[in-house]
Amino acid sequence: MSRKRVVIAGLGDSGVLTAIRLARQFDVVGISAKPALVSGQELGWRLSRPDEWARANWIPFDRFRALDRVRTVHATLTGVDLDARTVAVRGDDGVTSQEPYDALVISTGVSNGFWRTPNLQSHNEIGADLRQAHTRLTDADSVIVIGGGAAAISSAAQVATTWPDKRVDLYYPGERALPSHHPRIWEKVARRLDEAGVGRHPGHRAVIPDGFMCDEITVEPVQWSTGQPQASADAVLWAIGRVQPNTGWLPAELLDESGFVRTTPQLQVPGHPAVFAVGDVAATDPLRSSARNRGDGILARNIRAEFAGKPLRSYRAPKRRWGSVLGVQPNGLEVFTPKGQAFRFPAWSFDRVLMPVIVRWGIYRGVRDNQPINLAP
Ligand SMILES: Cc1cc2nc3c(=O)[nH]c(=O)nc-3n(C[C@H](O)[C@H](O)[C@H](O)COP(=O)(O)OP(=O)(O)OC[C@H]3O[C@@H](n4cnc5c(N)ncnc54)[C@H](O)[C@@H]3O)c2cc1C
């Protein structure tokens, strides 16, 4: 009997982990607009220390030992034929071809600002983007960060600690930021922001200029719909969580009213047992949390069960966000639980234990040494 073929549409954080779990048993084809895992995580670290960030978060697919059996296709997904069970992909030569599947995993994520994009890019283009944003902040004496989520907070904290001479101000709409996290987390994070010298401005809701997609660092003064006087800085970073699902290639029948992929608790698309979804694109729960809660594990198990005609398991989402907020700091990495407790990996353990043992072996099952990626122009 020929092996079943699983197509993973989108090889980001969730797609890579799903491919790794399935590669031994099935013919796995991963389709990706990037030639590497380019994580959408840790915006502040990426902007302030891009070389370091790249070593942990920009990993060419051929570095993952567990992806050796996976065929990766560097292309853009442009459509799906649910009856014929094929997806259409367009390569950088503009030629479109079909990839057949027995099971399809939709993990195309979301677009967010300039740091998470669905466009086809080479390594050089990814490096140029990283460099451009870093240079923009290097050259600024004052920085405004707008937003109250983890991306905004980590950016403000990391810019302030990397460049203590810059004036850094964080503006957010509520009385407190991090509304989806446990309240205790905000208390700790607010203290860290104060220690880093970040000016905190609660109760400020920015007016988004007409047609602006919040996808570039701007220089114009910012107006507030909450009535305060306008604010100015040399660089304005918009991290207001305006995410767009990367689902333009899918038919509307698979999507909810906001354009995310509808899923059952078993991570299947209703009415299409061969189609699954995971990660930020999947409407699993109000926080769409299956990426950080390792939905790839349940998903891989359910694909095996579906092929074998066995019962599927359900994904259960925590009610609150958790994880790292400030990102890697000179004194280590602080991670928060859904109940608001904090634990810290000290700085020495990051390169010696956390990355090589927990992340590279434990999570990714072996990553060959990453070549230093040249970020110089
Ligand atoms: C192990 C782990 C730990 C995490 N820890 C935290 C944490 O501490 N704190 C926190 O806030 N979050 C954490 N997260 C979650 C993280 O913030 C995001 O939820 C995660 O990056 C989303 O992954 P994704 O695969 O859904 O999307 P992405 O990683 O964005 O991947 C989507 C991929 O699909 C590609 N793509 C899109 N459209 C197309 C197309 N048409 N054709 C081809 N390719 C396309 C994109 O270019 C991208 O490469 C964690 C996630 C994981 C897996």
Q: 377 is written with which tokens? A: 């122009």
Q: How many Å lie between the centroid of ligand 1 and the Cα of residue 246? A: 11
Q: Side chain identity at 339, as an amino acid letter? A: K
> For 338-357, what is the mean pLDDT?
88
Beta-carbon count within 10 A of 75 CB: 21
What atom in ligand 1 is closest to the CA of residue 39?
Answer: 29
pLDDT, position 58: 95
Q: Phi and psi at residue 288, in whole multiples of 5°? A: 45, 60
| Tokens 């987390």 sit on residue | 185
Q: Phi and psi at residue 173, in whole multiples of 5°? A: -75, -35
pLDDT, position 332: 86
> For 131-139, what is the mean pLDDT?
97
Lowest mean pLDDT among 116-130, 223-237, 352-366: 352-366
pTM score above 0.75? yes
Which ranges in the chain belong to alpha helices (H)? 13-22, 43-48, 50-57, 123-138, 150-162, 183-195, 295-308, 347-349
Is residue 372 very low, low, confident or very high in pLDDT (cuts 50, 70, 90)? low
Q: How many Å lie between the centroid of ligand 1 and the Cα of residue 201? A: 29
Q: 200 is written with which tokens? A: 């905190």
Is residue 1 very low, low, confident or very high in pLDDT (cuts 50, 70, 90)? low
pLDDT, position 193: 97
CA–CA distance, 185 with 195 (Å, rounded to integer): 16
Is residue 10 very low, low, confident or very high in pLDDT (cuts 50, 70, 90)? very high
Lowest mean pLDDT among 33-42, 87-96, 105-114, 343-352: 343-352
> For 136-151, what is the mean pLDDT?
97
Q: At residue 375, does pLDDT exceed 80?
A: no
Asked if 261 contacts 250 with a C-beta cutoff of 8 angstroms, the reply is yes
Q: At residue 377, does pLDDT exceed 60?
A: no
Q: At residue 11, does pLDDT exceed 80?
A: yes
What atom in ligand 1 is closest to the CA of residue 76?
Answer: 42
Q: How many Å lie between the centroid of ligand 1 and the Cα of residue 292? A: 9
Ligand 1 residue neighbourhood (C-beta within 6 Å): 10-15, 17, 31-34, 39-41, 76-77, 107-109, 116, 118, 150, 246, 249, 279-281, 291-292, 323-324, 363
- Percent of the chain with pLDDT strictly greater than 90: 83
370 or 77, higher pLDDT: 77
Is residue 226 very low, low, confident or very high in pLDDT (cuts 50, 70, 90)? very high
Q: Give helix then strand counts, H and E, for the chain.
A: 8, 22
pLDDT tens across 259-286, in order? 999 999 999 999 999 999 999 999 999 9
369 or 176, higher pLDDT: 176
